[in-house]
């Protein structure tokens, strides 16, 4: 078992985060005790961030103490691992607009005090303007206008020099286009809005027709 970055461990092709809440699973994942630390296995078929890391993402800006604005928290699978990584000194603002899945994030917050669930539409930043500036904006909303929503949120909430990670689902943006063309077009939109592209990682074989774009404000 090797630590590969802040709070993230790797053993052959398996990823783990250091469990913030000892003995607690979030989605049935395996728990592994190593000396006085407990690790939670991080499934790359359930989390695009894990897939990007396993596929060689050249930087992981999410660290202990990071403040993260997370758009599209769903039931909280990836947010729970980010909560492990940022630890008690960090915070993950989890935005989600579907009430049914949002309930799981509220459950998660009962143990994980660094998770702040917010039931809101990420297209309406004016409704959560009270959120502080963040080090990271993480986006996984599978919407046709995902990049535009990301840019609007980053302009409002991302610190200068902060990083934004966008999980792009090619088919949600344009089902008729070659995924590579879609990634290129989204990249250009970000560059035209003054974001520096740091990396683009294809998420196959874990997620078909998906890429993670990492950019900097």
Ligand X SMILES: C[S@@+](CC[C@H](N)C(=O)[O-])C[C@H]1O[C@@H](n2cnc3c(N)ncnc32)[C@H](O)[C@@H]1O
Distance of alpha carbon 157 from alpha carbon 46, whole angstroms: 27
Give the one residue of 31, 116, 131, 142 binding ligand X; rule: CB under 6 A.
142
Q: What is the largest CA-CA distance in the chain?
A: 51
Smaller CB distance to ligand X: residue 36 or 99? 99
Give the one residue of 78, 83, 153, 202 binding ligand X; rule: CB under 6 A.
78
Query: Is 41 one of the binding residues for ligand X (CB under 6 A)?
Result: no
Query: Is 95 one of the binding residues for ligand X (CB under 6 A)?
Result: yes
Query: Is 97 one of the binding residues for ligand X (CB under 6 A)?
Result: yes
Query: Is 156 one of the binding residues for ligand X (CB under 6 A)?
Result: no
Sheet holding 14-18, edge to edge: 2-5, 8-11, 14-18, 37-42, 31-34
Residues contacting ligand X: total by CB under 6 A: 18
Distance of alpha carbon 19 from alpha carbon 212, whole angstroms: 25
- Considering the complex, what minimum distance in angstroms separates the CB of residue 36 from ligand X? 28
Smaller CB distance to ligand X: residue 82 or 200? 82
Task: Find, among 7, 161, 132, the residue nearest to 69 by Cα.
Answer: 132
Query: Is 150 one of the binding residues for ligand X (CB under 6 A)?
Result: no
Query: Is 207 one of the binding residues for ligand X (CB under 6 A)?
Result: no
Q: Where are the alpha helices (DSSP H) in the chain?
A: 48-54, 77-86, 99-111, 146-157, 170-173, 179-192
Q: Cα dist. 183→71, 180, 186 in Å?
A: 19, 5, 5
Question: Which span (6-14, 59-67, 137-145, 155-163) binds ligand X, by CB under 6 A?
Answer: 137-145
Give the one residue of 57, 141, 158, 215 binding ligand X; rule: CB under 6 A.
141
Looking at beta carbons, which residue is closest to ligand X?
72
Query: Is 123 one of the binding residues for ligand X (CB under 6 A)?
Result: yes
Distance of alpha carbon 129 from alpha carbon 109, whole angstroms: 21
Smaller CB distance to ligand X: residue 28 or 160? 28
Angle at 55 between CA 181 and CA 144, to 5 degrees: 35
List residues near ligand X by CB under 6 A: 47-48, 72, 74, 77-78, 95-98, 101, 121-123, 140-143
């Amino acid at each position: 078992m090797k630590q590969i970055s802040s709070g993230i461990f790797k053993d052959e092709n398996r990823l783990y985060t250091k469990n913030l809440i000892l003995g607690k699973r979030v989605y049935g994942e395996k728990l592994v005790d190593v000396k006085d630390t407990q690790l939670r296995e991080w499934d790359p078929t359930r989390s695009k961030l894990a897939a990007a890391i396993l596929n060689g993402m050249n930087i992981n800006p999410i660290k202990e103490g990071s403040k993260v604005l997370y758009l599209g928290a769903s039931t909280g699978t990836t947010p729970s691992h980010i909560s492990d990584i940022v630890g008690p000194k960090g915070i993950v603002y989890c935005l989600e607009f579907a009430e049914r899945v949002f309930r799981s994030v509220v459950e998660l917050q009962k143990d994980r005090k660094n998770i702040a669930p917010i039931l809101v539409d990420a297209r309406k930043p004016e409704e959560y303007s009270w959120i502080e500036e963040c080090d990271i904006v993480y986006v996984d909303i599978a919407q046709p206008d995902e990049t535009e929503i990301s840019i609007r949120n980053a302009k409002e909430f991302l610190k200068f020099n902060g990083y934004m990670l966008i999980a792009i689902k090619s088919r949600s943006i344009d089902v008729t286009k070659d995924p590579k063309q879609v990634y290129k077009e989204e990249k250009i939109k970000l560059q035209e809005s003054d974001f520096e592209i740091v990396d683009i990682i294809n998420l196959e074989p874990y997620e078909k027709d998906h890429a993670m774009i990492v950019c900097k404000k």
